[in-house]
Structure 1
Amino acid sequence: MTAPLASLSPHSLAEIAALAEARKLPPVDSWHPARGGEIDIRIARDGSWYHEGDRIEREALVRLFSTILRRESDGGYVLVTPAEKLAIEVEDAPFVAVEMKSEAEGEARTLAFRLNTGDLVVAGPDHPLALKESREGPLPYLHVRGGLDALVGRAVYYELADLALAEDNSPLGLWSDGAFFALDPEQ
């Protein structure tokens, strides 16, 4: 497993998109093991992983687990291998978008995100940004893969809002990779 990027800033969007596209993940959607159960693993709202109440400090282990994470049709989350499927708890979204890079403006804009696990995601038709209602009001999420979303961290959301306000689209929102994403909770 290669080390994740420490920061998006020194890389072009083309490099980031190529890295995101090249990442090979296990085929968890095709694994349907007969053996299942639960494991005391919890992903907190801030993206921290816990095992039996203790925070998992090894980033490489969190990255590894994140590659075998799957969302089930009932909305639950599991860690799955060809031999076993174990249910885990996810407080909100399993990932957090912790950094963003933007290139160009208007319909030509591309937005790339780095997740807390080191994953890279370019917002677009396959990875939409959306506001979803929560107890705290509307919160921004980025679709990562297979029913798995990333909560857009507060600082990153403020960056998105600043860009959207500067562009003055109606409705308020941003383009990325040819798709428009409304960031106005009224829309």
Structure 2
Amino acid sequence: MQALVAAAKEAGSRGPAPVHLWNPDHCGELDLVIKADGTWLHQGSPIRRPALVKLFSTVLRRDPDGYVLVTPAEKLSITVDDAPFVAVEMASDGEGPDRQIRFRTNVDETVDIGPDHPLRFEQGKAGFRPYARVRADLWALVARSVVYDLVALAEEREGLLGVWSGGQFFAMGEADGAAA
């Protein structure tokens, strides 16, 4: 764990680490859970130091078999209940195809929604759930309070209700059966 903290500190000073370049041996599982509300738990207790959560988030990666914290020397599996991040704030500038939506996550990363950072919308037993890609295959669940702001920007296009950002239209669903 100490090596993981040290590597995260080194990477954290520069933003997310180049985890896609690191392929160490899998060293086992770490008793770390990221809850759906964005709370990080270690051995069942919340990590109360936001700086430590931010550091760990810089070495987080999603592999085909699950989420891992990875350094050049080790890779440890962790549990993620839904998405590893939560979009807790939204800003919007412009209108229609010229609109730019930006989210801030619970680990203070900003994400400009567009072709490289798309939105996706899921409908399930938990209801309407929008997600924003933060990086690689790591997504942020849009917090319920922010969903209302996002839905307020929705417009109809070709029978679909959705939002524009970064020159791309992200469909939420059919206009007559709109979510939220």
For 1:53 and 1:24, the matched residues in 2 are separated by 27
For 1:44 and 1:163, the matched residues in 2 are separated by 28
Counterpart of 1:78, as a letter, is: V
The aligned length equals: 162
2:160 is aligned with 1:171: yes
Q: Tell me the secondary structure at the aligned position of residue 160 of structure 2.
A: coil
2:28 is aligned with 1:37: yes
Counterpart of 1:178, as a letter, is: G
Q: Tell me the secondary structure at the aligned position of residue 53 of structure 2.
A: helix
Q: Using a 3 Å threshold, how does the CA distance of structure 1 residues 139 and 35 change in structure 2: closer, same or farther?
A: closer
Counterparts of 1:77-156 in structure 2 under 5 Å? 77-156=67-146
Q: Tell me the secondary structure at the aligned position of residue 183 of structure 1.
A: strand
Determine the structure 2 residue equivalent to 1:20.
none
Runs ≥4 residues deviating over 4 A: none
Higher fraction of strand: 2
Per-residue deviation, 1:78 = 0.4
2:170 is aligned with 1:181: yes
Counterpart of 1:100, as a letter, is: M
Q: Tell me the secondary structure at the aligned position of residue 65 of structure 1.
A: helix
Determine the structure 1 residue equivalent to 2:53.
62
For 1:136 and 1:177, the matched residues in 2 are separated by 28
Say whether the 8 Å CA contact 1:35–1:83 is kept in structure 2: no
Say whether the 8 Å CA contact 2:56–2:69 is kept in structure 1: yes
Per-residue deviation, 1:134 = 3.1
Which moved further from structure 2: 169-178 or 60-69? 169-178
What stretches of structure 1 of length at least 5 have no aligned partner?
Answer: 1-22
For 1:92 and 1:136, the matched residues in 2 are separated by 11
What stretches of structure 2 of length at least 5 have no aligned partner?
Answer: 1-13
Say whether the 8 Å CA contact 2:100–2:164 is kept in structure 1: yes
Say whether the 8 Å CA contact 2:15–2:58 is kept in structure 1: no
Say whether the 8 Å CA contact 1:47–1:94 is kept in structure 2: yes
State the identity %: 54
2:62 is aligned with 1:71: yes
Q: Give CA deviations for 1:43-100 in whole Å, capped at 9, x if unaligned.
A: 00000100001100100000000000000012x1000001110000000000000000
Per-residue deviation, 1:133 = 3.5
Determine the structure 1 residue equivalent to 2:6.
none
TM-score (norm 2): 0.85
